[in-house]
Structure 1
Amino acid sequence: MLEVENYSFKYGENLVLDNINFSLEKGKILGIIGPSGCGKTSLVKAIVGLYESNESNIRLFGKQVYDNPEIKRNIAYVPDEQPSFYLITIKEIVNFYKSIYSSFSEERFYKINKVFKIPLNKRFMQLSKGMKMRVSIMIAFSIDASLLVLDEPTSGLDPILKRAVLNLVKEKVTRGEKAAIITSHNLRDLEEVCDEILIINNGKVDYYNTLNNMKENIKKIQVAFDKPIYEEDLACQGIITIDNVGRVFTIITEKYDDKFIKSLQQYEPLFIEEIDLNLEEIFIYKLGKEKEYEKIFK
């Protein structure tokens, strides 16, 4: 459905995105995560056609997205900030989208607003940050688009509305032949809804996999020995970090498989304990940030 192939983006002399590759199928939700300033929003803007790309770079249904109004009508976009509607009312925004999207459902917009409770006669500029985000979300969900792209959609929302937004995303994707992309710093939210995860770091793809494979392959392992064993003995391909207290070692690996277990068993451990990691923990270990934070707060 969506293909991003060898996409790079420069802002002046600064290389913001460097050779990004991934694809997204119908019925799937992709979470894009990474540290602040890593290029997530730039990638989202490229996907929805706001940044230029070559025909071979970003395609939806096999057709270039950039400078292609027909294809862009298949995309509903929720930006992290909406600067376009400051002086007009919510009712006028609805009329605007009705005029450019034949699939826009006014009935659906008002149905969602029974939960979001936005005053329709207010000007957009009069709304709080959270209310502006709600308007953008209502617009996106009122367009019968094939691809839903949301940049930090739960920012400024209370827990009840956050839950409502995540449920809407799941409903929209599972109900029809749709797909969604979400960026968020709240990784617990993404863990609830995403099928696939793309980690961006310094403008590059650091990791890309299904969430299930990610959790199966990236594990924390605790292993103890009754004889002298050193970190160099246990080092093998796929280890992210390794620490020890005495003869008890804590290992984070991204290649947890039979080969990895055998590499430990050759040293006759007293026990091997497998510990599952959540998405937030995986993100911290994968980017090597935990050690940095420990140094700062010691």
Structure 2
Amino acid sequence: MLRIKSLSKSFADTSVLSALDWEIPDGKVFGLIGSNGAGKSTLMRCISQVYDYDGEITIDGAPLSEQKEKLFFVSDEPFYFNRFNTNEMKDYYKLFYPNFDEDYYRKLLELFHFDEKKPLHLLSRGLKRQSIVILALSCQPKVLLMDESFDGLDPMVRLTLKRELIRLVDAGEISVIISSHNIRELEDICDEMALLENKKIVFTQSLDELRENYHKVQLGYSEAPAAELFENMPLLSYEINNKVVTVLYHGEEAREQIEATEPILFNPLPLSMEEIFVVEMEVNQNEN
């Protein structure tokens, strides 16, 4: 298990993360969501030991700083030496990752139809990402961090990568944290989602819990209701359009108060993960 306790990070006088706590169980894919500037990339760089920080990060109870080979960070700007190819970068990473699996590396080259001999500085953004993903998986980390790592990949490569990550996670070989602005894409692969706002992890929930606990409903009334009717309800959002009101809420208390208004129409609507997180981000930003 990866455990983060009381993590804080500042740049000069600007606090980015403050007393952040988070636990990532083994064998899970986590999506990390947050608004621009919330600190997602900063958190990833703290976990990967790129940045100094205050607080504690452990894997299986031992300090991460003493077992860096158990973690690999695929950043939004992958590192490579000028004029090196993937095969040469492989030899470099072998120096730091003693569990590097040469046979698995060869299988990944075939899986992604990737030419390891092409100089990386001549490759497109998407091919550079394929290169670092192949190297990352071959290093056999226990925890894989991916920051916007699907950007630039064509649809077939994205699907192949998702399938391979799911296979590894299901086999209990790895835990994955994926930071992305593309919530729809995270839905396809993640077991749980975490929201980073106001310098902390606001909540972590499984996709099943999110779908079960959050609701979007269209209400109909015989006369147009006043806004005051909904202002004091524990709603995430509401929109009044004459006699029709659309509400987004979670929890039984909100539902009971809605039903007490005696709508003549109570029509559940489809609710996407993106809608949930956009509303939650707005709520947390307003509370700040």
Asked whether the two chains share a fold, i.e. TM above 0.5, the reply is yes
Runs of 4+ in 1 over 4 A off after TM superposition: none
Residues 5 and 56 in structure 2, CA contact (< 8 A), matched pair in contact too = yes
Corresponding position of 1:58: 57
* Unaligned runs of at least 5 residues, structure 1: 290-298
SS in 2 for 1:73: helix
Which of 142, 145, 165 in structure 1 is aligned with 2:141?
Answer: 145
- Identity across aligned pairs (percent)? 27
Residues 215 and 276 in structure 1, CA contact (< 8 A), matched pair in contact too = no
TM, length-normalised to structure 2:
0.91
Distance in structure 1 (CA, Å) of the matches to 2:246 and 2:98: 56
* Unaligned runs of at least 5 residues, structure 2: 284-288
Distance in structure 2 (CA, Å) of the matches to 1:228 and 1:178: 54
> Matched residue pairs, number?
283
Q: 1:171, CA displacement in angstroms?
A: 1.0
Q: 1:228, CA displacement in angstroms?
A: 5.5
Aligned partner letter, 1:63? A
Distance in structure 2 (CA, Å) of the matches to 1:134 and 1:116: 8
Distance in structure 1 (CA, Å) of the matches to 2:272 and 2:206: 14
Aligned partner letter, 1:10? S
Corresponding position of 2:264: 270
Q: 1:12, CA displacement in angstroms?
A: 1.5
Aligned partner letter, 1:162? R
Corresponding position of 2:102: 106
Q: 1:207, CA displacement in angstroms?
A: 3.5
Corresponding position of 1:135: 131
Which of 113, 119, 124 in structure 2 is aligned with 1:117?
Answer: 113
Corresponding position of 1:283: 277
Matches within 5 A, 1:176-191: 176-191=172-187
Distance in structure 2 (CA, Å) of the matches to 1:20 and 1:5: 6
Which of 187, 204, 215 in structure 2 is aligned with 1:208?
Answer: 204
Aligned partner letter, 2:11? Y
Matches within 5 A, 1:159-178: 159-178=155-174
Corresponding position of 2:286: none
Distance in structure 2 (CA, Å) of the matches to 1:150 and 1:8: 21
Aligned partner letter, 1:263? Q
Residues 34 and 201 in structure 1, CA contact (< 8 A), matched pair in contact too = yes
Q: 1:104, CA displacement in angstroms?
A: 0.7
TM, length-normalised to structure 1:
0.88
